[in-house]
């Protein structure tokens, strides 16, 4: 049953343009209350300098409810998350996280939010440490090949793109012939105007 007194605002964030926001949009659709407006960023949550996030923060008013799939969509650090929650609460705005199911209007909810934010940040730090350790081990074993991309043979690249554009081969075949992943292939096509 719709709560006529509240306006529900959705916020969706994915870390890059390659990531898909469909899961978050579906969760908002299934929320149970009509979402009146959705703000969506396709960028890192490392800080709060995100265009749609800033628009949302200016847009919300007393009595609104911001709905997110999980608190990590609002912020990646516990400091930014707690600052955002405080700023929203000062405006009279509530927050609903579909994953954590916390009520930020109570002292217990705010405490649990702090715990969840701290644990999420700790988990990210542990993952970074494991990644660094894994890379160090791979380097020591001569297996690490990350870092610099392979140079492109521009003559061959232009020829492969020409065949692709003429319909003589698929883009997938051109990528395979160039030993390139799709994102790099299309980025280079755009960069060189091919």
Go through 95-117 and write b for each residue having 16 or more CB atoms within 10 A of its CB, e for each that does not.
bbbbebebebeeeebbebbeebb
Q: Is 15 a catalytic residue?
A: yes
CA distance 35 to 27: 11
Contact 80, 54 (CB under 8 A): no
Dihedral sign computed on CA atoms, order 90, 67, 112, 131: negative
Go through 27-40 and write b for each residue having 16 or more CB atoms within 10 A of its CB, e for each that does not.
bbeeeeeebeebbb
Contact 63, 105 (CB under 8 A): no
| DSSP tag of 47 | S
Catalytic residue among 15, 44, 72, 77: 15
> Which are the catalytic amino acids?
15
């Amino acid at each position: 049953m719709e709560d006529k007194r509240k306006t529900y605002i959705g916020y969706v964030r994915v870390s890059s343009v390659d990531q898909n926001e469909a899961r978050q949009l579906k969760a908002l659709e299934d929320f149970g209350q009509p979402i009146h407006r959705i703000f969506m960023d396709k960028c890192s949550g490392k800080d709060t300098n995100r265009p749609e996030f800033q628009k949302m923060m200016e847009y919300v008013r007393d009595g609104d409810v911001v709905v997110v799939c999980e608190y990590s969509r609002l912020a990646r650090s516990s400091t930014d998350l707690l600052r955002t929650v405080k700023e929203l609460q000062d405006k009279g705005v509530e927050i609903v996280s579909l994953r954590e199911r916390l009520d930020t209007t109570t002292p217990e909810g705010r405490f649990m939010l702090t715990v969840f934010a701290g644990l999420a940040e700790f988990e990210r730090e542990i993952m970074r440490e494991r990644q660094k350790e894994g890379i160090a081990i791979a380097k020591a074993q001569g297996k690490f090949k990350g870092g610099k991309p392979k140079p492109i043979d521009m003559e061959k690249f232009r020829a492969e793109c020409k065949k692709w554009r003429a319909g003589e081969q698929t883009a997938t075949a051109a990528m395979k012939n160039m030993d390139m992943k799709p994102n790099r292939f299309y980025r280079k096509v755009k960069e060189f105007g091919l």
